Chains A and B, each alone.
Chain A
Amino acid sequence: MQVPARFAYERADSVPHALQLLERYGPEARVVAGGHSLIPMMKLRLAQPEALIDINGLTELGQITVEGEELVIGALVRHAELLAHTIATDLFPIFRDAERVIADPIVRNRGTVGGSLCQADPSEDLSAVFSALRATAVIQAGGAPSRKVPIRAFHHGPYETAVEPGELLVQLRVPIRTGTGSAYEKVERRVGDWPVAAAGAVLRVVDGVIEQAGIGLTAVGAEHFCSPEAERYLEGRQPGEEAFAQAGRIAAEHCEPHADQRGPADYKRHLAAELTRRALAAAAERI
C-alpha cells in the first residue's frame, strides 16, 4: 500500500488566507489544487512536504472571463472546464487540441491549469500552449500587489518556476488578437500518456503575411517551451507548406531532447520538426 509520510493539512477559504497559511508554514509547505502530480509523488515519498495548503475552495480562482483584449483564466480552472469553455476554445482552438489529450477525463475533471504550470514538468502540455500564446502569469504574494510575469520567463527549469515560497499563481492572461489561428499536435504512446513530444502553434496573419508566430514545444528540452528562432523565421513570410516545414526544421535544430523510454533523442527531434509543421499548417487553416 502506498501511503505518504506525515504532513499537516490546511484548507484555505480565500486567497489572502491561503497566502497567510503559506507564510505560516514556510518553504516546506506546498499548495495542493488538483493534486494529480503532488499526491502520487507524496505516496511514492518522492515528495514529503510538511504541510499542504488546499486551495480547492477558492472559487475566485476558478473563473474564465474576457477582460478587454485578454482572456483571463483563473489558476484553479479545471482542465475539463477549459475544454468545455467554448469562448476560450473558439478564440484559441489550441486549448481544445491540447486539453483533449491531457491525461484522461478523470484527471481532467480535477487537475487545474495553474497546477499544471506550477508543477513545471518538462512534459507538461499547457506550458507549451501558454508559451505559444505568449500569455502572462499573475502571481500574488501576501501583503503586496500582484506581479505579472511573461510566461516565457515563468519557467526557470524543470520543476522550477517564478512563483516564490509564500506566493500563489492566480491567473493566466492571454492576449486576444484578430486574424489568429492556433493548434496543438502531440504524439503519445497511448491515450493519457505523457507526450513523447508535442508542438503548439499560434499564427497571426495580416494581409497575407505572418505578423506574429508562436511556437510551443513540449518534452523536447526547448528553453521556455518555445522556439524563438523558428518564430523569427516565419514572421514576415507568407504562410505555406515550405515555410512551415522549414520552421519545423529550425525548431528541431534548436531544441535539446533527451532519450527516455518514450523514445530516443533523434526521434523526438524528428517529432519536433514534424509536429511543428503539422501544428502550423492546422493553425493556418483556422485563421
Chain B
Amino acid sequence: MSYGRMHRKEDARFIRGRGTYTDDVRLPGMLYGAILRSPHAHARIVSVDASAAEAHPKVRAVITGQTLAGLGLAWMPTLSQDIQAVLATDKVRFQGQEVAFVVAEDAYSARDALELIDVEYEPLDAVVDARTALDQDAPVIRDDLEGRTDNHLFDWEAGDRARTDAIFERAEVKVAQDMLYPRVHPAPLETCGAVADFDKVTGKLTVWCPTQAPHAHRTLYAMVAGLPEHKIRVISPDIGGGFGGKVGIYPGYVCAIVGSIVTGRPVKWMEDRSENLMSTSFARDYHMRGEIAATRDGKIQAIRVKVLADHGAFNGTAQPTKFPAGFFHVFSGSYDVEAAHCEVTGVYTNKAPGGVAYACSFRVTEAVYLVERMVDVLAAELGTDPAELRLRNLLRPEQFPYHSPTGWEYDSGDYPRALRLALDMAGYDKLRAEQADRRARGELMGIGISFFTEAVGAGPRKHMDILGLGMADGAELRVHPTGKAVLRVSCQSQGQGHETTFAQIVGHELGIPADDVEVVHGDTDQTPFGLGTYGSRSTPVSGAAAAIVSRKVRDRARIVAAAMLEASPDDLEWSDGTWSVVGDPASGKSLAEIALAAHSNLELPDGVEGHLDAVTVYNPPNLTYPFGAYICVVDVDPGTGQVRVRRFVAVDDCGVRINPMIVEGQIHGGLADGVGMALMQVMAFDEDGNHLGASFMDYLLPTSMECPSWELGETVTPSPAHPIGAKGVGESATVGSPAAVVNAVVDALAPYGVRHADMPLTPANVWRVVNGDPFRTDLAIS
C-alpha cells in the first residue's frame, strides 16, 4: 500500500534551507583549519618553515608532516592496500597535495597564515601521461615504498584468455578500437570537510563529515589512530551529493581530528571548490583497447580488452578488496558471447588518488562504455544497423540466471523487450529516414544506442569487503505503542531519498503510512553497523534489510495478535495491513492496535518479550542487475563542431520501483551526468602535471540548457535475489548514457568516415575529429 509516488519527506527541510550540512555545524569555541597544498605535481620537500605562521596572533596550531610523523600519522592506509600521505614529509606527488595544516580562530586568519608558511621544493619531472608511466626512464613516484623501482601498481585479469584468443584466431570478422575514458570528477555541490571535536575529559571523539560510509570511517579511525571504537562517533549529516567521492577518508579529516586533539577545541575544515576538484577522488582515467570477434552475419563471439588504468599517486580506490579494477570485468555487457578476457594494468602517475567515483558502480561505467562503443564499431564494420546488431546479440530472457564468461551471475532480465520499447518510443525507423534526408542535404544528425547491464548492491560479504569489513547492512526497527515506527539504517543518503523510500518499504510491509515511519541514519551512535551508500547498494542491501526487519516485526505482531484474538498464530492471515483469523476479515488487528497491546498488560505468549522491535543484518545472496536501453539523437553543426542533444529516450528496468518519482529523479540526474561527461567534462593535465580543470570555469557541469526533455520508459523484471524484487538504480543512467551520446555523435560523423572519438566531444574536439586530426583530450591542448 505504500509504494508509489509521494513527495520526498526530506524535501521539507531542504527547500526551506533547513538542512544541516557539515558546514552548518557550529560548536562553542570552534577553530578553523586550512590546508597548504603543493603547487608542484612532483617535488622533493627540502624544508618547511612554519615559524611565521605560528607567530600569527590568531593561529592556534600549525601541523606539518613532521608533526604527524611524530605521532605516527604522517601516512594512512588507503582503501586499496596502499598508503597515502596525510601531510607530505618526503615528496609531494600531485599538484594540490596536502603539505601543512593551520588551525586559527577564524577562517580568514587560517587562510592568511598559509601564506606565511615557507616551503622549499626541489621540483622533479612529473609522470603525467599514463602511457609513459612504465617507461624505463620514467621518474619513480613511489620511492617511499621499499624496493620500488617503477610506477607499476598491479596486473589483473579476468575471463578465459586461451578460449578467447582461440576464437579470435579463427574469427571471420575482427574489430579493434583504442579509447579513453578520461579522468572526470563527481564535483558534488557540497565539497568535503569535517568538524572534529575531541573531548579530553570523556575521551570521546565526534566527527561530523559528509561521508557515504560513516560506520566504515569509525572503524578505520579506530584501527589507524588507535582510538577506542566505542569512543568514536561519526555523524554524517545532510550531504550535498556524494557520487562515490565521499567514501574514503581524506587527509583533511585526519588533520581536523589531530587539530582538535592538539588544541583541545573543536576544529572545522571545509575545502573550497578548487581543492575539491584537485585533491579528492577522481573517476575513470581508463585507457582501453577493445576487440570483438564476430561472424560475418553479425554474431558476436568473443570480446577482448586491455586496459591501462591511471590510479594517480596513491592507490586510493574504494572498491571491494579482491577486485582491483572494480567490476570492470562485467564488460561482456548484455550480450551472449562465448568467451571474454580482460587484462588491466594499474600505474602510478603524479595525479590525485581516487578512481571510483562519479556514480560509476565500481567501474561498470567504463565497462559499459567500452562494450557499447565496440558494438557500434562492429556495426560500422559490418554495415549493419546498430539496433539490429544489438537485437541479434542480446541475452534472451530464457538464459537467466545467466552465468557470464567472466564470472558474474546476472539475476533476471528481458533485454530485447527493453530495447524494442526504446526503439518504439524513439520512432527509430522514422529517425533513420530523417537522418538519410538530412545527410543528403549535408546536415549532420546522429542516432546513438546504448544497452547496459549494471551489477550493483555489493555484497555478498564472502566476495565483497573493504579492508576486511564485509558488505552487509544492519537495520533496526522500533514500533512505538501507538504504531508509529522508527527505522535505523547504516547507509546514508546523499540525495537518494532514503528517508522516503525506506519509510515506504516499512510502511508497505507493516500496513502503515510511510508518514508514520521515521528513518534515522548517518549517526554511528544511533544506527547499526553497515557499509554505506555507494555502488547503488542502498536499496539492494539496506532496503532489503528494511524489508526483512519489517517482516520480523510483522511475525512478532502475529503472535501478539493471536493472543489478542485468542487464536493460534497459525490460524491468522495477513491481509490489508491487518492480522485476522482466516476467513474472518472483520477480526483484523492493525499494527497500531497490536503495538499498543504489545506494550499493555496483555499476557504475552512465548516468543514475544514485550514489544515488536526487531533487528537484522542483511547479507545479499547476489548483486542485482538493473539494465536499460538508451537512445540519443544529436545534431552536429558541421561548421563549428557544436553538438546539440535533441532527444534522449531512456528505458530503465530496475525491478520493482518503490517510489517511481524518486527513481525518475535519479535517472534524470544520471542522464545529465552522461551528457556532461560525453560533451564537456575532463580533468586534463599539462606536461608539468598542472591541473587544468580546477574550477567550475574550467571543469564544466552540464546545465538544463544542454539537456533535452528526457523521455523515460520502463519495464519491470523483479530481482529474484531481493526480498521485494528491487534493483539498484542510482547509477544506471550515469553508467548507460555516455555511450549513447558518443555513439550518436560518431553516427552523425559517419559521412566523414569517423568510427570513434574520445570524450569529451567539445566543439574543438569534434572539428578536429572531422578533420582527421584528433587531439588527446586528457592532456593540454597545444
**A194 touches B (CB below 8 Å):** yes
Q: Which residues of B contact A259 (CB under 8 A)?
A: 781-782
Cβ B700 vs Cβ A193 within 8 A: yes
Q: Which of A130-138, A183-191, A204-212 is the interface stretch?
A: A183-191
CB distance from B232 to the nearest CB of A (A): 26
Please measure, in the bound complex, the distance between the C-alpha atom of A1 and the C-alpha atom of B107, giving whole angstroms.
7
- State in angstroms the CA–CA spacing of A5 and B113 once bound together: 11
Q: Which residue of B lies closest to A260 (CB)?
A: B781
Residue pair A267, B108 in contact (C-beta under 8 Å): no
B639 near A267 (CB under 8 angstroms)? no
Count B interface residues, CB 8 Å. Answer: 38
- Residues in chain B near residue A3, CB distance under 8 A: 107-108, 111
Interface residues of B in 253-304 (CB under 8 A from A): 270-274
Residue of A nearest to B765 (CB): A263
Cβ of B640 and Cβ of A264 under 8 Å apart?
no
Interface string of A1-21 (1 = CB under 8 A from B): 111011000000000000000
Min Cβ gap B510→A in Å is 45
In the complex, which residues of chain B have a beta carbon less than 8 angstroms from the beta carbon of A45?
115
* B703 engages A190 (CB within 8 Å): yes
Residues of B within 8 A of A260 (CB): 781
Q: A261-B684, A263-B762 are in contact. List 19 more A-B contacts (CB 8 A).
A: A1-B107, A6-B112, A44-B274, A187-B642, A187-B763, A189-B762, A191-B705, A194-B697, A259-B781, A259-B782, A261-B692, A261-B780, A264-B768, A267-B767, A267-B768, A271-B640, A274-B639, A274-B640, A275-B640
Point out which of B111, B270, B762 has the most chain A C-beta atoms below 10 A from its C-beta.
B762
Check A267–B764 contact: CB distance below 8 A: yes
Task: Tell me the B572-603 residues at the A interface (CB within 8 Å).
Answer: none
Instruction: Tell whether, in the assembled complex, residue B706 and residue A190 are in contact, meaning their CB atoms are under 8 Å apart.
Output: yes
A286 located at the interface, meaning its Cβ lies under 8 Å from any Cβ of chain B in the complex: no
* With A44-B274, A187-B640, A187-B642 as contacts: A264 and B781 at CB distance below 8 Å: yes
22 A–B contact pairs at CB < 8 A?
Answer: A1-B32, A1-B107, A1-B270, A3-B108, A3-B111, A6-B108, A187-B640, A190-B703, A190-B706, A191-B703, A194-B697, A259-B781, A261-B693, A261-B698, A263-B762, A263-B763, A263-B764, A263-B767, A267-B763, A267-B767, A271-B640, A274-B640
Q: Is the CB of A261 within 8 A of B781?
A: yes
B680 close to chain A: CB less than 8 A: yes
With the chains together, A259 CA to B272 CA distance in Å? 28
**Complex interface: chain B residues within 8 A of A190 (CB):** 679-680, 700, 702-703, 705-706
Also in contact, A189 and B700, with CB within 8 A (given A260-B781, A264-B782, A270-B767):
yes
- Minimum-distance CB pairs A-B, first 7: A263-B764, A191-B705, A2-B272, A267-B764, A190-B700, A274-B639, A3-B111
A192 contacts B by Cβ under 8 Å:
yes
Interface residues of B in 471-528 (CB under 8 A from A): none
State which of A2, A196, A261 has its C-beta within 8 Å of the C-beta of B273: A2
Given A190-B703, A192-B703, A1-B763 contact (CB < 8 Å): no
A264 to B697, CA, bound (A): 18
Q: 1/0 per position for B687-698, CB-CB distance to A under 8 A? A: 000001101011
B775 at the A/B interface (Cβ < 8 Å)? yes
A189-B700, A190-B706, A191-B705 known; A196-B763 Cβ under 8 A? yes
Closest CB of chain A to B675's CB: distance in Å?
Answer: 10
Determine if A254 is an interface residue (Cβ-Cβ < 8 Å). Answer: no
Give the contacts of A244-287 with B (CB-CB under 8 A).
Answer: 259-264, 267, 270-271, 274-275, 278
**Residue from B639, B697, B698 having most chain A Cβ neighbours under 10 A:** B639
Pick from A1, A193, A262: contact of B764, CB under 8 Å: A262
Instruction: Check A191 against B272 for contact (C-beta < 8 Å).
Output: no
Interface residues of B in 660-709 (CB under 8 A from A): 679-680, 684, 692-693, 695, 697-698, 700, 702-703, 705-706
Residues on A with C-beta less than 8 A from B764 are 196, 262-264, 267
